[in-house]
């Protein structure tokens, strides 16, 4: 019960005068705050705005906000020229599609063969030239998007360090901060992508996920995040975390915008053979028009959702501290005609998931922890990526680690002072595995993969007490901060390679947004977009960040700041 007392003591200041220091200015006289892609296309069509003007407005805003929030690593110096060319093309040939002229930021671990170095936030890679655009970046260009620049991230997508570490920090970009409250955390690792979207520093952004890196930062930014099935989107040209689990997906302010991006970036790529799975399963054909799946609350009539109470809702800090808000959402869903199936439990979840947040179940033997195989994957993935880069002395994982060692914190790569520099403790752990894929590796990986898949699929098949079997449309999970770590709502889809989405539903007393997640089975993105957009239409939470505490520089963000509880709540 101690956490409740903490919660009550930390009642935030109310009524204190605060004015948003960074209001979104009109662009060429047009309101662009939280604007969606269809609306912008309408402006383009009517001649009220050009892609070049819109790009300039975002660049101006990045220059204003970024010194405080560091959500962007680098602006593409050619962005205005690209936008101008796309404007000319529109005049001559009309738009290529819904992304024509739309400024999008890509996370700094997605290769772009332009003037912006791709370095996963590390200073070690800033002089390296990538051989070509990542498949995702090439497809975005093809769809007419303006690649505005690179978003900040937790260095090496959270995999350089676990201990000597601050979430959302990179040596190259500094500390990403939360636009709602700069002294609250952003979660990671696609922190800059998510915060740039909600801060109106771009129209949408691309993130990557190995375990939670799209979903969790979207939840703390109050936006839509889609984590696609592994194989839906090519990872070629993306700095790997784990080639078995990595995926690439959109951060956006609406499901429609996110779906437009997924339409543009999904598909088969011969450089990533995981994308062949979509063809083998037949789903590459079934759902290539995700924007068609976007709908409204009327789709909730008769929709069937499972609630995996044990342990995702019963014991997670998120569900306890935000329980009233979540129960209200359940009530609204039922009023809208949805059927909720409580206790659609996931077999063996207590062996797979730490109940109070992100990470491994502590009672499970260490040989079966996710990090047992993830460290091996990290070594091999980064080693392979570096070997494909040209012109550099850093050509292997070991050389990268040597560089990190030489430029360790003490040398203060960014000049010391208030800037805190990331350690490399996790790289040291990965190095110790030598990337060897032995029996231990395969056991840890296959054990988790199989149990996670079976767990989600079993829960999606609800069996009533009388034996009646019902196939559910999705599993609802909490997406909230509050425990030792964020909600335990990313680990199973990550290990299963299954898709998941998150949508915002509210804000805590410290301004931090929280959301509702939906899980599905492999290649279920169309269904998740359908029901996600339906629930989003029902709840319609549209909080605007007020940039509280923008002048503070307190870092790092781990351990947690007030508003977080460092003891697990008892199972409720
Ligand atoms: C990158 O190039 C600059 C300028 O040549 C040099 O000062 C810096 O040391 C280089 N960094 C790395 C990591 O190679
Ligand atoms: C996928 O491609 C990699 C590298 O080209 C290769 O080593 C691996 O065996 C392939 N996997 C499958 C399942 O074909
Ligand atoms: C996708 O679906 C939308 C809505 O039904 C439709 O307007 C659009 O033409 C479709 N796009 C493609 C490429 O089929
Ligand atoms: C779901 O079931 C559990 C256990 O029976 C119960 O404690 C919980 O209140 C139920 N939740 C909802 C939303 O009905
Ligand atoms: C950096 O320095 C810290 C403290 O001296 C040390 O614990 C860590 O292992 C070093 N990191 C690397 C990559 O050598
Ligand atoms: C990385 O592993 C190699 C090979 O075992 C070893 O020589 C080296 O000292 C290790 N580096 C670090 C920083 O642990
Ligand atoms: C596999 O390699 C790891 C080191 O990465 C080692 O700890 C483990 O004991 C090895 N397992 C087997 C079965 O050799
Ligand atoms: C911002 O977060 C801090 C804790 O980091 C908290 O003390 C403060 O009340 C929050 N500000 C607002 C306006 O909620």
Judge contact between 528 and 149, C-beta under 8 A. no
Assigned domain for 21 exists: no
Q: Check whether 210 has a pLDDT greater than 80.
A: yes
Q: Check whether 402 has a pLDDT greater than 50.
A: yes
Nearest Cα neighbor of 344 from 477, 493, 479, 527 is 477
Residue 271: DSSP 8-state: T
Give the CB-side neighbour count of residue 515, counting CA atoms within 13 A: 28
Ligand 6 centroid, distance to 398 Cα (angstroms)? 7
Most ligand 6 atoms within 8 A of CB, residue of 401, 404, 430 to mutate: 401
Assigned domain for 28 exists: no
Give the tens place of pLDDT for each residue, 40-96.
999 999 999 999 999 999 999 999 999 999 999 999 999 999 999 999 999 999 999
- What are 388-392's contacts with CB under 8 Å, separation 24+? 388/131, 389/125, 389/128, 389/129, 389/130, 389/131, 390/128, 390/129, 390/131, 391/127, 391/128, 391/129, 392/125, 392/127, 392/128
> How, if at all, do strands 474-479 and 304-307 pair?
parallel
Residue 124 in contact with ligand 1 by CB distance below 6 A: yes
What pLDDT, on the 0 to 100 scale, is given for residue 572? 38
Helix, strand, coil shares of the chain as percentages rounded to 5? 40, 15, 45
Q: Check whether 271 has a pLDDT greater than 80.
A: yes
- Of the listed ligands, the closest to the CA of 256 is 3
Residue 409 in contact with ligand 5 by CB distance below 6 A: yes
Q: Which atom of ligand 5 is nearest to the CA of 424?
A: 13
Q: Which atom of ligand 5 is nearest to the CA of 401?
A: 13
- Which residues are designated catalytic? 107, 189, 213
What pLDDT, on the 0 to 100 scale, is given for residue 319? 61
What pLDDT, on the 0 to 100 scale, is given for residue 403? 86
List the domain range (segments joined by +) for residue 379.
Answer: 37-539
What's the average model confidence in pLDDT over 393-419? 67
The number of angstroms, rounded, from the C-alpha of 349 to the middle of its chain's C-alpha atoms is: 23
Q: Which atom of ligand 7 is nearest to the CA of 432?
A: 5
205 falls in which pLDDT band (50, 70, 90)?
very high
Residue 124 in contact with ligand 5 by CB distance below 6 A: no
What pLDDT, on the 0 to 100 scale, is given for residue 196? 98
Residue 146: DSSP 8-state: E
Of residues 34 and 172, the one with the higher pLDDT is: 34
What's the average model confidence in pLDDT over 278-297? 79
Q: Check whether 2 has a pLDDT greater than 60.
A: no
What pLDDT, on the 0 to 100 scale, is given for residue 320? 67
- Of the listed ligands, the closest to the CA of 405 is 5
Q: Check whether 237 has a pLDDT greater than 70.
A: yes
Q: Check whether 569 has a pLDDT greater than 60.
A: no
Q: Check whether 475 has a pLDDT greater than 60.
A: yes
Most ligand 8 atoms within 8 A of CB, residue of 184, 547, 550, 557 to mutate: 184
> Structurally, how many domains does the chain consist of?
1
Residue 461 in contact with ligand 1 by CB distance below 6 A: no
Q: Check whether 560 has a pLDDT greater than 60.
A: no
**Residues 6 or more apart from 254 whose CB is under 8 A from it?**
36, 224, 533, 536
Most ligand 8 atoms within 8 A of CB, residue of 6, 15, 186, 510 to mutate: 510
Assigned domain for 172 exists: yes
- What is the C-alpha to C-alpha distance for residues 31 and 68, in angstroms, rounded to an integer? 24
Ligand 1 centroid, distance to 443 Cα (angstroms)? 42
What pLDDT, on the 0 to 100 scale, is given for residue 488? 84
Judge contact between 448 and 491, C-beta under 8 A. no
Give the tens place of pLDDT for each residue, 408-448.
654 443 333 334 456 788 899 999 999 999 999 999 999 99
Q: Check whether 355 has a pLDDT greater than 70.
A: yes
What pLDDT, on the 0 to 100 scale, is given for residue 557? 58
Strand order across the beta sheet in which 513-519 lies: 72-75, 146-151, 103-107, 204-209, 247-252, 224-227, 500-507, 513-519, 474-479, 304-307, 339-342
Assigned domain for 560 exists: no
- CATH code at position 281: 3.90.1300.10
Q: Which atom of ligand 3 is nearest to the CA of 97?
A: 13
- Of the listed ligands, the closest to the CA of 426 is 5
Assigned domain for 27 exists: no
What's the average model confidence in pLDDT over 240-262? 98
Give the tens place of pLDDT for each residue, 499-558.
999 999 999 888 999 999 999 999 999 999 999 999 999 999 999 999 999 998 666 554
Judge contact between 166 and 555, C-beta under 8 A. yes
Mean pLDDT, the chain, rounded, equals: 89
Residue 343 in contact with ligand 4 by CB distance below 6 A: yes
Assigned domain for 479 exists: yes
What's the average model confidence in pLDDT over 272-300? 83
- Of the listed ligands, the closest to the CA of 38 is 3
What pLDDT, on the 0 to 100 scale, is given for residue 77? 97
Assigned domain for 15 exists: no
Ligand 1 centroid, distance to 527 Cα (angstroms)? 47
Q: Kindly state the percentage of the chain with pLDDT values over 70.
A: 88
- What are 413-418's contacts with CB under 8 Å, separation 24+? 413/123, 413/171, 414/171, 414/174, 418/553, 418/555
Assigned domain for 446 exists: yes
Specify the range with the lowest mean pLDDT, choosing from 106-115, 160-169, 177-186: 160-169
Q: Which atom of ligand 5 is nearest to the CA of 427?
A: 13
């Amino acid at each position: 019960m101690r956490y409740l007392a903490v919660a009550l003591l930390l009642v935030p200041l109310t009524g204190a005068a605060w004015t948003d220091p960074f209001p979104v200015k009109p662009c060429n006289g047009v309101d662009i705050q939280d604007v969606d892609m269809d609306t912008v296309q309408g402006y383009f069509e009517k001649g009220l705005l050009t892609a070049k003007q819109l790009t300039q407005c975002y660049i101006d805003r990045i220059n204003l906000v970024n010194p405080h929030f560091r959500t962007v690593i680098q602006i593409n110096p050619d962005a205005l020229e690209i936008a101008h060319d796309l404007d000319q093309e529109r005049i001559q040939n009309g738009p290529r599609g819904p992304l024509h002229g739309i400024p999008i930021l890509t996370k700094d671990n997605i290769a772009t063969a332009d003037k912006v170095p791709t370095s996963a936030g590390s200073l070690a890679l800033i002089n390296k030239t990538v051989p070509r655009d990542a498949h995702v970046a090439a497809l975005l260009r093809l769809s007419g998007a303006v690649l505005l620049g690179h978003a900040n991230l937790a260095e090496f997508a959270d995999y350089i360090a676990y201990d000597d570490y601050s979430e959302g920090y990179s040596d190259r970009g500094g500390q990403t901060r939360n636009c709602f409250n700069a002294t609250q955390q952003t979660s990671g690792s696609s922190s800059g992508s998510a915060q740039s979207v909600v801060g109106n520093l771009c129209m949408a952004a691309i993130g990557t996920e190995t375990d939670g890196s799209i979903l969790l930062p979207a939840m703390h930014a109050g936006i839509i995040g889609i984590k696609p099935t592994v194989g839906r989107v090519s990872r070629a040209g993306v700095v790997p975390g784990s080639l078995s689990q990595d995926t690439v997906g959109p951060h956006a302010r609406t499901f429609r915008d996110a779906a437009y991006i997924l339409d543009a970036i999904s598909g088969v790529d011969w450089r990533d053979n995981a994308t062949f799975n979509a063809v083998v399963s037949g789903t590459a054909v079934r759902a290539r028009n995700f924007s068609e799946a976007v709908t409204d609350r009327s789709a909730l009539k008769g929709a069937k959702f499972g609630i995996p109470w044990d342990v995702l809702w019963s014991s997670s800090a998120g569900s306890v501290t935000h329980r009233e808000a979540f129960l209200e959402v359940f009530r609204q869903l039922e009023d809208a005609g949805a059927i909720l199936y409580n206790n659609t439990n996931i077999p063996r979840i207590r062996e797979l998931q730490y109940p109070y947040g992100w990470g491994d179940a502590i009672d499970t033997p260490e040989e079966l922890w996710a990090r047992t195989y993830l460290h091996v994957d990290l070594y091999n993935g980064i080693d392979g990526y570096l070997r494909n880069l040209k012109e550099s002395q850093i050509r292997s994982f070991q050389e990268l680690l040597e560089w990190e060692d030489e430029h360790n914190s003490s040398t203060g790569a960014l000049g010391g002072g208030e800037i805190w520099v990331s350690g490399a403790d996790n790289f040291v752990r990965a190095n110790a595995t030598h990337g060897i894929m032995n029996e231990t590796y395969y056991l840890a990986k296959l054990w988790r993969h199989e149990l996670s898949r079976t767990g989600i699929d079993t829960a999606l098949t609800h069996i009533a007490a009388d034996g009646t079997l019902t196939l559910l449309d999705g599993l609802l999970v909490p997406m909230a901060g509050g425990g030792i770590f964020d909600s335990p709502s990313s680990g199973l889809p990550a290990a299963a390679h299954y898709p998941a989405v998150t949508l915002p539903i509210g804000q805590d007393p410290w301004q931090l947004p929280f959301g509702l997640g939906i899980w599905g089975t492999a290649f279920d993105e169309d269904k998740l977009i359908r029901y996600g957009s339906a629930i989003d239409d029902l709840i319609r939470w549209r909080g605007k960040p007020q940039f509280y505490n923008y002048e503070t520089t307190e870092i790092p963000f781990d351990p947690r700041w007030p508003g977080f509880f460092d003891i697990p709540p008892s199972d409720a």
